[in-house]
Amino acid sequence: MAAPDGGDLPTGDGTDRPASRGSATTGSPRHRVRADARHSDARRWVALIVLCVSLLVVSLDNTILNVALPTLVRDLHASDSQLQWIVDSYAVVFAGLLLAFGSLGDRIGRKVVFMAGLVLFAAGSAASAFSGTPTLLVVARGFMGIGGAAIMPTTLSIITNIFTEPHDRARAIGIWSGTTGIGIGIGPIVGGWLLAHFWWGSVFLVNVPIAAAGALAAWWLVPNSKSPTPKRIDPVGAVCSIVGLALVVGGIIEAPQRGWGSPLVWGTLVVGCLVMAGFVWWERRIDHPMLPLEFFSSRRFSVAMSAMALVIFALMGTLFLLTQYLQFSLGYSPLETGVRVMPVAALILVVAPLSTVLVRMVGTKIVVFVGLGLIAAGMVLLSRTTTAGTYGDALVALLLLGLGTGLSFAPSTESIMGSLPADQAGVGSATNGSALQVGGALGVAVLGSLLNMRFHGDLGTTIAGHGIPANVQHLILGSLGGALAVAEHVGGALGAALADAARKAFLAGMDLAMVVGAVAAAAGALLVLVLLPARDGSELAGRAGARDAGAPDAGTGGSAAGGSAAGWSAADESAADGSAAGGSAAGGSAAGGGAPRAGSDAPTAGGATPE
């Protein structure tokens, strides 16, 4: 199909049909190559916009719910543990299926899986919007996780396959990372605005038209790609990862309610750990693992993955607690809460794309180390919160949290994706997404449970011996919102005393959670400083040797792993004119970092450099 300007348009099967003869592309072969290269480059960035807008909805959903949590306490009578499940059911299913959908995208086409994910996400969002009980909402949120798991890995693997030049790829991943971060950051303000004008279900229903528009745009604008050697799907691994993670998260969430000494809690945790151990054993045993464990032998991969998980652990756990603090303790409305969380989003938006510049100057190690250190410092400041505190006391901590997340996000992602071969882009990006979701789920579960444990202990001691009926006591200890509702109903001095005791117990729990989160972030910073390579010297040496030998990088196979659609790089256009023997794209790997650096003259298979 010819474009209006005579260029090529991507088709649904991931190939480009040549423009009709006599169009604007007529002229010398050199002029056609340059014009087509400019047009192909523009299509790359348009495709990136479609992918990032679609991803924004998924990442937005991670935090848009946070400001609605107090509303769910009032309208659905949800307890603290139910709130944690409403948030984490999405993340658990998301994390468990990411690797499976990454492999599926490599096998049947990443664009196909991406579009199917948008449809499933829209359906789950509609079901969530009209859930009438906490249990139904937990189930609907899990269904949303299925769609999100199909969307996130395919966006990143498509990006790494259409941006084959390292400098452009780093910029594109920086934008992708910024989109993920800004979605997480602006979720509270979007949710606050919706709650100020509509009912709580609107925070889910807003996803439906955006997901539908994204699917339509992707059909026309996003190229399809797949691995030339796809692996078989691993359903056993997918089930084990979901069940194991759900049991571990469930045990952590239920511990404050039932007590850490409860046989049910310990039994759940032990079984969950055994299932996860079984997952590792299974992945080592089969010849088509969902998660190739050999990836973790690379420190660029494993240490960056750990850093990424800890960044999201801190961010998601903090936002889960902070939005409740701002509403229940400081008395802000959902919209006012969203506005006051905006500094986090603003800094992530600005800093994430710029972090790649800092990486070129000082290396990945220093940038990620500083980012995690700033996150730890911000959480330490939040751990000093008291009932006499104000928003101004928390603002500096929020700024440090946003700055640290922005610095850490893109470099960690680039380190993960740059350590993998291009034909593993889908699995690699899915593993990266799994780190995000597991980190977020554990952040909400661990920090939320620490808060609940201290809240139950302190407030339970305060109200003990006052003859409060069991059902009322359950409501008081279920959440800060429940305690404040009882205090308002009682009224008078007794009600005021209960409200004050509940707020103090909540802040004591939040302070404990922030201290533990700060320790985790600081440990991550130390891990990065000791083990994460500043730069990938082995890859640089390999590229230099490959250039000296006049061949593509070893192990890349001289192609973008079958991932780049035809016509998506100038090298491909040169191949079409016969200047590259065999028709292979110059430079090689997309995700594996095998493409030449900006400014290098990578030879094609025939030794000619495309113009």
Tell me which range, 255-269, 300-314, 559-573, 576-590, is most confidently predicted by mean pLDDT. 300-314
Lowest mean pLDDT among 32-41, 288-297, 544-553: 544-553
In three-state secondary structure terms, 559 is coil
How far apart are alpha carbons 257 and 513 in whole angstroms?
17
Judged on CB neighbours under 10 Å (0-12, 13-18, 19+), 287 is exposed
- Mind listing the pLDDT tens digit for each residue in 157-198? 788 788 877 778 778 877 877 676 667 667 778 888 999 899
Give the type of residue at 13.
D
CA dihedral sign of residues 511, 516, 517, 521: positive
pLDDT > 80? residue 33:
no
Evaluate if residue 251 carries a pLDDT over 80. yes
Q: Give me the half-sphere count of Cα atoms (radius 13 Å) on the Cβ side of residue 324.
A: 29
Q: What is the DSSP letter of 231?
A: P
Q: What share of the chain is helix, strand, coil (3-state, %, to 5)?
A: 75, 0, 25
**DSSP annotation string for 177-225:** HHHHHHHHHHHHHHHHHHHHHS-TTHHHHTHHHHHHHHHHHHHHHSPP-
Write down the mean pLDDT value for the chain.
Answer: 76
- pLDDT of 511 over the 60 cut: yes
| CB contact at 8 A, 565 and 10 | yes
Query: Rounded CA gap, 594 and 241, in Å?
Result: 31
At residue 27 the predicted structure's pLDDT band, cuts being 50, 70 and 90, is: very low
Structure confidence at residue 130 as a pLDDT band (50, 70, 90): very high
Q: 3-state DSSP call for residue 453?
A: helix
Q: Encoding tokens for residue 155?
A: 């966006």
Each residue's pLDDT tens digit, 258-269: 777 788 888 999
Q: Is the pLDDT of residue 37 over 70?
A: no
41-234+288-456+506-531 CATH fold? Growth Hormone; Chain: A; (1.20.1250)
Cβ-based neighbour number of residue 457 at 10 Å: 15
Q: Given pLDDT bands bounded at 50, 70 and 90, which one contains residue 447? A: very high
Task: Give the Cβ contact number of residue 216 at 10 Å.
Answer: 12
**546 contacts 558 by C-beta, under 8 angstroms:** no
Structure tokens at 95: 């994390």
Q: Which residue has better confidence, 597 or 28?
A: 28
For the chain, domain boundaries: 41-234+288-456+506-531, 235-287
Q: Please state the φ and ψ torsions of residue 479, each to the nearest 5 degrees.
A: -170, 160
Half-sphere exposure of 215 (CA within 13 A, CB side): 18
Beta-bridge mates of residue 8: 2
Residue that wins the pLDDT comparison between 239 and 489: 239
Residue 430's Cβ-count burial label (10 Å; 0-12, 13-18, 19+) is: buried
Residue where the block lists tokens 């050999």: 294
Closest listed residue to residue 152, CA positions, set 102, 208, 186, 109? 102
Query: How deeply is 3 buried, as exposed, middle or buried, from its count of CB atoms within 10 A (0-12, 13-18, 19+)?
Result: middle
Pairwise CA distance, residues 150 & 365, whole Å: 31
Q: Do 301 and 419 form a contact (C-beta atoms < 8 A)?
A: yes
- Please report, to the nearest 10 degrees, the dihedral formed by the alpha carbons of residues 395, 85, 431, 64 taken in order: -40
Tens-place pLDDT, residues 63-117: 788 888 888 888 888 887 888 889 888 888 888 887 778 778 878 888 888 999 9
Token code pair at residue 590: 């997309």
Please state the rounded mean pLDDT for residues 28-52: 63
Looking at per-residue pLDDT, the higher value among 580 and 412 belongs to 412
Is the four-CA dihedral 23, 27, 33, 37 of positive or negative sign?
negative
Helix (H, G, I), strand (E, B) or coil at 429: helix
Going by pLDDT thresholds of 50, 70 and 90, the confidence category of residue 426 is low
